[in-house]
Structure 1
Amino acid sequence: QTMSSEGSAYVMEDGVDESSTRLASLFFLYNLHFILTRVHEKEGNPESLENLELIQDPAEIRHPCLTVKFTFQTLSETLKMLSEEELRTFKWTLWTYYQQIFSSSQNMDIVDIVDRLLERFSHEESVQITKTLLYKMGKQKEVEYITNMCIRNQVRYDLCNTLRKKYGALGGDLDMEEEKRPIDDLYVDLNVLSNTNNGPNIEHEVLTIPKPHTKQKQGVKLSVADILSLKMQEEFRTTLLLVAGVAGSGKSVLIRKLVRDWVEERAPTELAFVFPLAFRELRQFEGEDVSLVKIIHTLYPETTRLNKEDFSSYDCRMLFIFDGLDEYNEPLDFSNTMLISDPHDSGSLNVVIVNLLRGRLLYNSVGMFTSRKHIDAVIPWDTHYNELEVLGFCDPQKDEFFRKRFKDPSRVDRVIEYVKSVKTLHIMCHLPLFCSLVADECQRVFREQGSQAALPRSITYVYTKLLLELVRHRRKFRAPDLDPDKEQEFLLKLGKLALNWLEHRTFQIHKLDWPEISDKEAIMNSGLCMEYVVTPYVLCNEDTVSFLHPTIQEYLAALYAFLSFRNQEKNVFEHLKAKALRMFKGHKIMELYKAAVEKSLQYDGGNMNIFLRFLCGMALEKNQELLRIFCKSSAKVENLKDDVASLIRKKIKENPSSNRTGNLHQCLEELGV
């Protein structure tokens, strides 16, 4: 080939310029090198990765938890720990090994550097390259930081999988008729307030009951996201939080939702770990020396990979949820119990719990306790803590619960209409447990009789199911060795008190005047009563006790009257017995029903109206069947329903006044006639 150039004076004999030939060859080689380099870069497999000897094989840290988000955040936070001079050294070292990828590294900021690493290398390689370069710079602290963050991330990932299986569904204890379903399909926002002692729900179908004077301010309504938020914890400025609420108010369901939302990262939070610890699970540690860390390691084995410092580190904030403080039966002695201050320190389970309730062992973490009883009666006065109260459902949430529970829209509408038509049921549905029992009964009717079947108007059946659910829970978790006779004796004492209060239109009593019935059994174990603080016109607050709801008081009074006659042939209205015998013949138990009707008609204000409805409901065979566990004799009273209905009809004819007969008609409705 002959090459010519303007001004060229050097031409070989064959017509080829020697310098031009050499220049063309160099140009060809340069282009070839450029093309091969671009192809190699595009494949994302730079040769220099083999030249840098990594301090750890990237395959050793390969884990599903190593996501783009985590890797970017961890590497960025690590590089921010370097000074300006150290960052320039890191960039120069990075360029030394990866000149073509980081040719302009000195002009890159931290975000650009981490972006380029993740763009050109795998997550594992990006982590190991960063650690190796920092190690060469002598930045051992930063290398350990990355290692610890990766371990925490793996532990968090495995812990989340465990918690999904354990807390991801509802059913079983609260939902006897339905299989377990994902909590997201059933959960309805609960009414959670930022203070406690809001008093009982005193809404009533018949009576007007004055609300006790408790908190002046009702408190701020909180969501699950609020509880998880760091902002709320900083505002409280405490490491101890109590979630109080009566039996069936939804405390444990709230904990499930809280755990689930943390697992799925639905709420912005700086909590590194959440550890739910039910007190019924902690019983396995009784009689041995344990530490808070040992408890965590035993219940959640994946946490054994955490460093010792993680449990007391300010950059590893944890939430420990101790569910069911009221199930713990050991005495809490805050004066004579050994003090421990490190989560690794060992002692008895009682020592650990006492020190947690003193606010120790937690450092920058938070300890949350759920209980039926307010914590001010449990822990020392000088311990700083904050309380929340779970009050169950407001009216809109009641409807939402049934919409989520029933998939068939036509059934949903029927159930909501039915519940609203029976005012006492609608009022009591402020308790999620009660809502679940109503839904169970409706499901049973639909399953056995079809979607168009009439739903029962009886309220006694659901209240009986509520009592049995609380009794079952008490037998299983709180008093497994309880003698059935003692249990029946306790219920009769509580029922006698309920009837006495009812006759005197009393619905609360000062704790100092509480009779010889264990307040612990009544409030915490049975869940049939509650305690709160009223503010009188003196200097000191006063502890007050009432039944869970006025209708619970009326139900227990009716149960006392019914069981007293069934088991002892005792008429609780003895002073009316002679008159009743003269006016009615039939089953002997009809003495009780006749006397109860007479007693009810004596009160113009309706004191005994709901009581009489419950007593009439206990004449139904299905309710007698449920109550058989409390009866000494298993024999049924035949035709009791018909005889009670005849008595009620007779009284309606004798008392045509509408204000007297309205409740009698409801008694017939209770009997299903």
Structure 2
Amino acid sequence: MFECLYEGTAKQGTPTLLNAEGKENQDIQLIFPLPFRELNLMKDEKLSLLDLLHVLFPETKEMKISSDEYKVLFIFDGLDECCLPINFDTSETLQDATKETSVHMLLMNLIVGNLLPSALIWITSRPAAADLVPSECVHRVTEVRGFSDPQKEEYFRKRISDQSLTERIISHLKSSKSLFIMCHIPVFCWISAAVLEKMLSEAESGEIPKTLTQMYTHFLIIQTSIKHEKDYEKNVKDEDMILNLGKLAFQQLVKGNLIFYEQDLSECGIDVTEASVYSGLCTQIFREELGLYQGKVFCFVHLSIQEHLAALYVLLSFLLDKRDVLNENLSLKHERECRTISDLHQRAVDKALQSKNGHLDLFLRFLLGLSLKSNQMLLKGLLIHVGNISYGKKKIAAYIKTEITVNPSPEKYINLFHCLNELGDHSLVSEIQNYLRSGDLSSTRLSSSQWSAVVFVLLTSEQSDKFDLSKYVSREYNQNHMSPDDVFLKLLPVVEASRSAQVSNCGVTDEGCAALCSALRSNSSHLRELDLTLNTLEDAGLTLISEGLKDPHCRLEKLMLRDCGVTAEGCAALASALRSNPSHLRELDLFGNKLRRSSVKLLSALKVDPHYKLVMLL
């Protein structure tokens, strides 16, 4: 849903900055969008790079793309949807753009820079799948959060003509933090606009969606009503079609397929003509004219719609037929039998946590949300055979809290917190909000799950771009609890996710600097401004931080190091780091340190490097 963007020039050059406002990358002449959904269809083809481009973009046949005549950008869209055999360890080296090979070999050689080494490569993906591409193959990774808060509002104002209704929609979305956060995804804005425009009009009544599952369930109902408005003479009941579409969605999700064929529809009892009237859910891809593959090709309008229908199918299979479709694979028969809805939920949690690319994360949120009474009532309008679901919500909530305690992955525990939100369980978050109001986290004993909740609350706060650690840390070390440095280590994911981090006077030591070095080198770090003023880093600490600054993934633009006990030794390490990676840091503040004039000259001498960006040195 929200996406990560790998941006780089592979083995050569310096990557340009991504700027959503169009102020960068003005020298790019050709942009080739290559969705993995379509590349998946070509997995059995043998093509050269030029053949691939000529097939997808016939207008390029007369262009000399393999030369340096054009500045080219390739956008591989949806790495998390890739069904190609991506294996960088066994890939053959290919430098000839006219030589035929498999599509996945073309892709990997483009990414590592063997093919068209001067081209820019951007790859979008959900965060959990981002690590499929080794970090050494790209210069940096940027998380693209989609719409900013002002852009979210702008979307609805442009999308809906009735401005008073627009303001009500925006106000409702802002009242639910989880929904407003999701609006960074354009397709979610589209779905929300379709639902809320109808729900908030004078002619409608009923509970307005407050969770992700409620929003998608209302969208499903709207799409069914649109079909009736088309006056379609149906041969199949809505209930049967939704179950069949859910079966298709689940089977293809498990296989990792986002694109399927007419035969796949038929195997799920879906007639192509009947499916066409549900075009807001499932649509046909028109690429038949390319001649690369035969037959009609289909996909769901968006992966999240497929995940919602898949979750609905899993739930209904258990309720109506007592089937545990999550465990129908013969190789998994050793798993415990699901006797209750709670058992089914626990199995879904386990499978989502086992998924390396996170392909079941959103599915899990939908499955849990669809089991709630509020969504049951919505579904009864479509699925007349669905009865009341009885299960222990507290039991699955307790199970999720246990998994939050033992799961170290930030992406995983954040998704588990979203699952608790779908269940309406805010107990952990409420506890942490009270702790945060107290100010000093170092004087409070918190469990592992509570620390996870701290990180979750801070990561999803309204001010997530700016984080002031000093509000939660006392410099005084209480031996009965945590040192300030320990608190810093616990909250490092929040520092890493923030654009600007205020860590001044927080007692950061060598151990904290070592962890900070790792964060600066991380593919997923968003950190651009870091204030470490009044921490006793000294030369050892700055040397560790310099190792992070040296890494090509580090994109820090502003570094404040006032009164940190740094001498010429630490300054030399810093100068060496900037010599290795000179293209990002723009502002450096070393005021109040024990620096000699020679140290300042050492840094100033770097300005002869044409890639050097430092404009302010204090």
Using the size of structure 1 for normalisation, the TM-score is 0.36
**Which structure carries more helix by proportion?**
1
Task: Report which of the two structures shows the higher radius of gyration computed on alpha carbons.
Answer: 1
The structure whose RCO (Cα within 8 Å, separation 6+) is larger is 1
